[in-house]
Amino acid sequence: MKLQRLSNKVAIITGAGSGIGRATAKRFADEGARLVLNDINKATLEELAGEIARKDQCVLVSGNIALESTAALLKETALKRFGRIDILVNNAGIHWIQDITETTSEDFDHVMATNVKSMFLNCKNVIPEMIKQQRGVIVNLSSVSGYVGQEMLGKSTFLYNMTKAAILQLTRSLATRYAKDGIRVTCVAPGVTKTNQITTVHTPDLDGFWQAVEGVQPLGRYADPAEIANCILFLASDEASYVTGTSLVADGGYLAL
Ligand SMILES: NC(=O)c1ccc[n+]([C@@H]2O[C@H](COP(=O)([O-])OP(=O)(O)OC[C@H]3O[C@@H](n4cnc5c(N)ncnc54)[C@H](O)[C@@H]3O)[C@@H](O)[C@H]2O)c1
């Protein structure tokens, strides 16, 4: 018999149109969850809805998650349609490859807003509902980039790394504050995963880029988005009932080097 680890749980997933968010949405649907799916790209979100199990248990909310209005709409939609919010997956994020000397303050604000303010807004909106329920799980997408300094294609990824480190701390702070309310807050820190975030990297030699990535992973390959979705599923499920305030690093051994 197929496991239904999220049977009738209501989950909000941001950035669900592509990559890790898309794989997570499909996995959650297979595990019986009722879904409120967000992406800034309406077309990819609609395409995903066509592929998902139990379409009638899935609502789409397109919009920029860095805006307070989108976070509020996600919460309102979940409550109106399903009456509760069990799981929030703060997944949407963008990469940044540029040295600090070439980065404008507008660039800085944009990346911070997309990767960090979005999670602040979603948590701020959803936590009061989880407190009322005395139950809930938040899974944030950090990265191995939150732990180390990195360069890609000869440039720094400092700003991306700063945002991913902020997410580790957001996770710890909310976990200790709301543990008494039955809310677990965790994050997943993936290593390089084959998604649009990475395949849109501008290089004349993308194949060479992937080979170089494989060369520095102890497991000798990059991750498939479905492997990261498995980690998110575990943390969101009751199987992780004693896990909070921490990060699950899924990086093929990269940080162990
Ligand atoms: N791919 C990797 O190697 C990797 C590694 C570590 C962490 N991550 C993290 O995983 C998460 C998912 O990334 P991915 O690799 O699946 O990337 P992706 O580009 O494939 O998917 C990200 C999705 O987020 C959406 N999005 C971007 N800005 C948005 C906004 N303002 N509002 C709503 N949606 C928005 C995009 O349209 C896209 O569908 C990100 O937080 C990323 O930083 C990725």
Residue 161 counted as domain residue: yes
Residue 3 counted as domain residue: no
Q: Print the domain residue range for 160.
A: 10-193+225-249
What is the per-residue pLDDT across 94-152, written as a single tens digit (0 to 9) for each?
999 999 999 999 999 999 999 999 999 999 999 999 999 999 999 999 999 999 999 99
pLDDT at 2: 67
pLDDT at 83: 98
Q: Give the largest CA-CA distance in the chain.
A: 56
pLDDT at 53: 87
Question: Ligand 1 center to residue 116 CA distance, Å?
Answer: 12
Residue 203 counted as domain residue: no
pLDDT at 234: 98
Pocket lining: 65 vs ligand 1, CB cutoff 6 Å: yes
pLDDT at 54: 87
For range 3-26, the mean pLDDT: 96
- For the question of residue 178 being annotated catalytic, the response is no
* DSSP per-residue string spanning 4-30: -TTTT-EEEESSTTSHHHHHHHHHHHH
Residue 257 counted as domain residue: no
Question: Ligand 1 center to residue 114 CA distance, Å?
Answer: 10
Q: What is the pTM of this model?
A: 0.98
SS3 track for 79-127: HHHHCCCCEEEECCCCCCCCCHHHCCHHHHHHHHHHHHHHHHHHHHHHH
Whether 39 and 18 have beta carbons less than 8 Å apart is answered as yes
Residue 90 counted as domain residue: yes
Pocket test for ligand 1, best of 195, 222, 227, 232 (most atoms within 8 A of CB): 195
**70 three-class SS:** helix
pLDDT at 199: 87
Domain count, the chain: 1
**Is the per-residue pLDDT at 1 higher than 70?**
no
Pocket lining: 146 vs ligand 1, CB cutoff 6 Å: no
Question: Ligand 1 center to residue 35 CA distance, Å?
Answer: 18
CATH code for position 155: 3.40.50.720
